[in-house]
Chain A
Amino acid sequence: MQTFLNAFFTGGSRGAIYALVALGLVLVWRGAGLINFAQMGQAMFSAYVASTLIAQGKNYWIAFIAALVVGAVLGAAIDILVIRPLKKKSGSAILNSPSMREAIPVIASLGILGILQALAGMIWAGDERGFPAPVSTSAISLGGKSAPFTPFDLFVIGTVFAILLATSLFLSKTSVGLAMRASALNSEVARLSGIRTRSIRTLGWVISGAVASIAGLFITPATNIAPNSLDLILIVGFAACVIGGLDSLMGSVLGGFILGFTTSFIGVYDVPEDIFIAIFAMLILVMLFRPQGIFGSKAGRRV
Chain B
Amino acid sequence: MFKKMDTALRNLGVAALFFVVVLLVGKNVGPYNQSQIAVALIIFIGVLSINILTGLSGQLSLGQGALMAIGGYSCALMINNWHLSMWIAIPLSLVSAAIAGYLLGLVAARLSGPYLAGTTLLLALALPTIANRFETVFGGETGLSIDFGTPTQWLSGIVSQDSFELWQLFVALIFATVSLFLTCNLFTSRSARSWRALRDHEPAAELMGINISRTKTQIFAISSAFAGVAGALYGLRGLVGPSVFGIALSLSLLTGSILGGVRSILGAGIGAVIVVFLPDWIGKAMHPFALADQLTNYLPALLSSLLLVLTIVINPGGIASSLYALARRARGNFKK
Contacts and interface: CB of A to CB of B under 8 A. Distances in A.
B316 A121 contact: no
A99 B58 contact: yes
B92 interface: no
A106 to B, nearest CB: 5
A113 B201 CA distance: 30
A96 B317 CA distance: 11
A242 to B, nearest CB: 6
A287 B107 contact: yes
Interface string B304-322: 1110110011011100010
Contact of B60 (A89, A107, A111, A112): A107
B119 interface: yes
Interface stretch (A3-11, A202-210, A275-283): A275-283
Given A110-B62, A277-B130, A239 B313 contact: no
Contacts of B62: 37, 106, 110
B301 A303 contact: no
Contacts of B58: 97, 99-100, 103
A102 B126 contact: no
Contacts, number: 172
A197 interface: no
Contacts of B130: 276-277
Interface string A245-259: 010000000000000
Contacts of B247: 231
A126 B301 CA distance: 13
Interface residues of A, number: 61
Nearest to A236: B122
Contacts of A99: 57-60, 112-113, 199, 202
A238 interface: yes
Contacts of A106: 60, 62, 113-114, 117
A169 B117 CA distance: 32
A102 B199 CA distance: 11
Contact of B295 (A92, A122, A246, A275): A122
A299 to B, nearest CB: 9
Interface stretch (B72-80, B174-182, B255-263): B255-263
A39 to B, nearest CB: 12
Given A115-B302, A242-B118, A280 B123 contact: yes
Contacts of A217: none
Contacts of B207: 303
A222 interface: no
B125 A121 contact: no
Contact of A277 (B60, B133, B316): B133
Given A97-B200, A110-B62, A239 B122 contact: yes
A96 B58 CA distance: 11
B246 to A, nearest CB: 10
Given A35-B117, A97-B199, A280-B123, A115 B305 contact: yes
Given A86-B316, A89-B316, A99-B112, 4 more contacts: A94-B321, A100-B54, A115-B305, A274-B133
Interface of B: 54, 57-60, 62, 107, 110-115, 117-119, 121-123, 125-126, 129-130, 132-133, 199-203, 207, 247, 251, 254-255, 258, 262-263, 294-295, 297-299, 301-302, 304-306, 308-309, 312-313, 315-317, 321
21 contacts: A86-B312, A97-B200, A97-B201, A99-B59, A99-B60, A103-B54, A103-B58, A105-B312, A110-B254, A118-B299, A118-B305, A122-B298, A122-B302, A231-B125, A235-B122, A239-B118, A242-B118, A277-B130, A279-B126, A287-B111, A291-B115
